[in-house]
Amino acid sequence: MDVIVTDIAIVGAGGAGLRAAIEVAEQDPSLKIALISKVFPMRSHTVAAEGGAAGVVKPNDSFDLHFDDTVSGGDWLCDQDAVDLFVRAAPEELTRMEHWGCPWSRDADGRVAVRAFGGMKTERTWYAADKSGFHMLHTLFQTSLKYPSITRYDEFYSTELLVEEKRCTGLVAIELRSGKLVAFRAKAVILATGGAGRVFPFTTNGAIKTGDGMAMAYRAGVPLKDMEFVQYHPTGLPGTGILITEGARGEGGLLTNRDGYRYLQDYGLGPPDPWPRNKAMELGPRDRLSQAFWHEQQKGRTVETPFGDAVNLDIRHLGEKKIDERLPMVRELAISYVGIDPVHAPIPVRPVVHYTMGGIDTDINAATPLPGLFAAGECACVSINGANRLGSNSLAEILVFGARAGRGAVAFAKANPHGSERGAQAKAEAAQAKIRALFLNDGSESAPALRRTMNETMESGVGIFRTEESLKQSCAVLADLRNRFAQVRLEDRSNVFNTDLVQVLELGAMLDVAQTMAEAALTRTESRGSHQRLDYPKRNDEAFLSHSIASFSAADRPAIGSRAVVITRSRPGERIYGGGGS
């Protein structure tokens, strides 16, 4: 087995991981950085983000307003100290991206342009046409090439953390090209592995978003926080789940049902002004919009398509010129994947799993409870997103907390030595033995079949609306799948680029993550943000103004605990959208 000794190891080279790597390199060029990613950095899913990144810049905007939108958008489950810090740091980070060359869209006077976004009171979303994440990722990746202290390990699949005497001392990864197992010994480790939307069957998330880092931390004893909160985006293309950005509604797009009626006015989001009003109608928060779709569907007012029910997203009135200028990708995607040119016809859309609010438990410095382990980006839960993330906060979050994780790791690495070589060796050999067992044992369970069952039970039991019955059912199925997974069969026994092995390991991670989602959802007998219980339709601050904390246990299910939310200055109130909100 190869051993690589580095100072700081970063797993994940999406927006959060790259930002962290650059921060470490800038803070202390003498520190060696190993940047490990299962795909080339520019393939990371940050690339798919369209709409933009939030940060206060306009004179009529303020940190307080961004704070209020975020905290009420998150249904008061956000830690307010974290949100305060976040909104203050976001504009600086976005400016830094500009200095690094990010091609942000501009106003006529040459200033960076900002657009409206769902749940945001004023325009504060920086965007690069409708390819914001793409441009951010490439800017970060290309900028990272400047720093000689960053060594990249592209297409290395990380399987577990090295933990010695209650401290994280590195990790183990498979070099996909050779099949070799490599131990990375590091003084500090940052997880930046992204979200886990793939536990659901219908998602905007790419095939690589399988919650690996969450599962690695969880198995190493680090809890996962607020996992029951899964965001549905209201506008995905039926069939593929490809996202139509909220930017389309920010520019004035309308949602109508089968009768051409703007149904959102029936769900407390009106009045239906003909122009976009911030925080109202189509610019309401994602949880409310996705829930409204479900109600329309119950009433039989949705549009039938070959790929399930949908509603219409209409941007025709923007005209071809504006559509091409502001929303070129929306047009391209709609034409390619549903055969509809939005210049001439409305686009069919439906809610689709989009974002995991929950994740690895960290404090506001991106540190996890395990010393030496940091986490940032979608895999982490700080928490600034609470029960419902506001669109465009996460592209800012990956920068703000990626950088903080970098700084935290630098401080930790300077204060602590490496773990022992022998400890690393022993742990890495144990990891290797587990993988070898997959190669040698003829398991009886088919991985695709287990995955399909997991996907189905997550959709039917842990979807937009949940009940005790549906959740119990899903929890039982998932516990059973976990047991069956012990007998999973690896079909491909080659060493080089064994993507069957990768998929099996990803499935193992997803099963852990799915279980924490379902079990935490079962425990939370209230409705808050994206977590809606038909049997407990009201928010219950007395019992549940708290984060759920899911810990790995020897039993076949996680243990679910809780921790109070940090409230500094905003007492839980009513979430008001529509005319009442402005």
Partner 1 sequence: MSETITIRVLRYDPDKDAEPRFEDFIVPYRDEWVVLDALAYIKEALDPSLAYRGSCHMAVCGSCGMMINRQPKLACHSFIRDYRGQLVTVEPLDHFPIERDLIVDQDDFIEKLTSLYPYLVTEHDKPLSEGPNLQSPAELAAFRPFTQCINCLLCYAACPQVAINEAFVGPAALAIAHRYNKDSRDSGEELRSEVTDSHHGVWDCTFVGACSEVCPKNVDPAAAIQRTKISASFRWLKERLLPGGTS
Ligand X SMILES: Cc1cc2nc3c(=O)[nH]c(=O)nc-3n(C[C@H](O)[C@H](O)[C@H](O)COP(=O)(O)OP(=O)(O)OC[C@H]3O[C@@H](n4cnc5c(N)ncnc54)[C@H](O)[C@@H]3O)c2cc1C
Piece of 45-53, 268-276, 428-436, 475-483 that binds partner 1 (CB under 8 A): 45-53
Q: Which residue has the tokens 């700084």?
A: 407
Asked if omega into 383 is within 30° of 0 (cis), the reply is yes
CA 396, CA 393: separation in Å to the nearest integer? 5
**How far apart are CB 256 and partner 1 at their closest, in Å?**
24
Q: Does 394 bind ligand X (CB under 6 A)?
A: yes
Binding part of the chain for partner 1, among 73-81, 137-145, 351-359, 399-407 by CB under 8 A, reads 137-145
In this chain, which of 108, 415, 554, 555 binds partner 1, going by CB under 8 A?
108
**Binder of residue 11, out of partner 1, ligand X, none (CB less than 5 to 8 A by kind):** ligand X
Measured from the CB atom, the residue of 96 and 295 that comes closer to ligand X is 96
What is the rounded CA–CA span in Å between residue 336 and residue 27?
45
CA distance 580 to 574: 11
Percentages (nearest 5) of helix, strand, coil residues in the chain: 40, 20, 40
Pairing of strands 359-361, 380-381: parallel
Residues 51-70 that bind ligand X (CB under 6 A): 51-53
Closest CA to 222 of 551, 515, 542: 551
Binding-residue total with partner 1 (CB under 8 A): 62
Q: How far is the CB of 349 from partner 1 (least distance, A)?
A: 15
Q: 300: annotated binding-site residue?
A: no
Strands 224-225 and 465-466, sheet pairing: unpaired
Question: What is the rounded CA–CA span in Å between residue 517 and residue 228?
Answer: 4
Q: Which of 67, 86, 134, 544 binds partner 1 (CB under 8 A)?
A: 134
Decide whether 399 or 518 has the Cβ nearer to ligand X: 399
Q: Does 144 bind ligand X (CB under 6 A)?
A: no
Out of 170, 358, 377, 578, name the contact with ligand X by CB under 6 A: 377
Q: What is the spatial distance between Cα 200 and Cα 456, in angstroms, rounded to a whole number?
A: 7
The closest of 227, 49, 33 to 136, measured between CA atoms, is: 49
Question: According to the annotation, is 460 in a ligand binding site?
Answer: no
Reading the block at residue 523, the tokens are 């425990």
Instruction: Report if residue 109 touches partner 1, rule: CB under 8 A.
Output: yes
Radius of gyration, CA atoms only, the chain: 23
**CA 221 to CA 437: how far, in whole Å?**
23
Catalytic residue, candidates 286, 451, 533, 557? 286
Residue 176 beta carbon to partner 1: minimum distance, rounded to whole angstroms? 9
Report the alpha-carbon distance of residue 349 to residue 422 in Å, rounded.
55
Query: Per CB under 8 A, does 298 bind partner 1?
Result: no
Q: With CB cut-offs between 5 and 8 Å by kind, which of partner 1, ligand X, none does residue 229 bind?
A: none
Please give the C-alpha separations between residue 478 and each of 200, 203, 214, 338, 533, in angstroms, as whole numbers: 13, 19, 17, 34, 20
Pick the closer one to partner 1 by CB: 105 or 291. 105
**Encoding tokens for residue 314?**
């209409």
Tokens encoding 533:
């219980």
Query: Is 286 marked active-site?
Result: yes
- Helix (H) or strand (E) holding 87, with range, is helix 80-99
How far apart CA 429 and CA 407 sit, in angstroms, is: 31
Stretch that binds partner 1, among 203-211, 277-285, 366-374, 458-466 (CB under 8 A): 203-211
Residue 409 tokens read as 């790791």
- The residues that touch partner 1, with contacts defined as CB under 8 A, are 39-40, 42-45, 47-48, 92, 95-96, 98-101, 103-112, 131, 134-135, 138-139, 142-143, 145-146, 154, 177, 206-208, 239-240, 242-243, 306-307, 329, 332-333, 336-337, 447-448, 491-492, 494-500, 503
Residue stretches of the annotated binding site for FAD: 12-17, 37-52, 212, 378, 394-395
- The residues that touch ligand X, with contacts defined as CB under 6 A, are 11-17, 36-39, 44-46, 48-53, 132-133, 157-158, 192-195, 204-205, 208-209, 212-213, 243, 245, 354-355, 377-379, 391-395, 398
Residue stretches of the annotated binding site for substrate: 233, 245, 354, 389
